[in-house]
Amino acid sequence: MEAEEKELKSSIKCKIMASFFLLILMIGISVTWILQGVLQKTLIEKGLEEEAITDILSTFMVSGAGISMLAMLVAIGVAYILSRSIAEPIKKLTKVIEDISTGKLDTEIDPELKNS
């Protein structure tokens, strides 16, 4: 019973964290790709030399990768906190349901669970 609770809680946490990670990764890649295209077009229109454009775009890509990594770390932290806030009430409710199913009909449900 205890192992099932941990597995359920762990599974929910992992799915939420993976979803946030992939979402932030996709957003980071998309934004960087779009901005790189806009930047490249603008630099070409301004008449910069090809070498200067390449240097600027390389710097932009490195900066974009760093910002994306930082955003992913923040997203992982937020996902961890969010997953705990979702998984904990489920764990408590599962315990109540198991108690009731084993015949402990006097088990009380914490009214704060719906507000957690």
Average pLDDT over residues 35-61: 92
User: Cα–Cα distance between 40 and 80 in angstroms, integer?
Assistant: 37
Please say whether the beta carbons of 116 and 46 come within 8 A: no
Query: Token match 């603008």: residue?
Result: 42
Tally the C-alpha atoms within 13 A of residue 28's C-alpha that lie toward its C-beta: 21
Task: Dump pLDDT digits (tens) for 10-22.
Answer: 677 778 778 877 8
pLDDT of the residue at 8? 55
Locate the domains of the chain by residue range.
2-115
pTM of the model: 0.57
CA dihedral 14, 16, 21, 27 (to 10 degrees): 160
Please say whether the beta carbons of 90 and 8 come within 8 A: yes
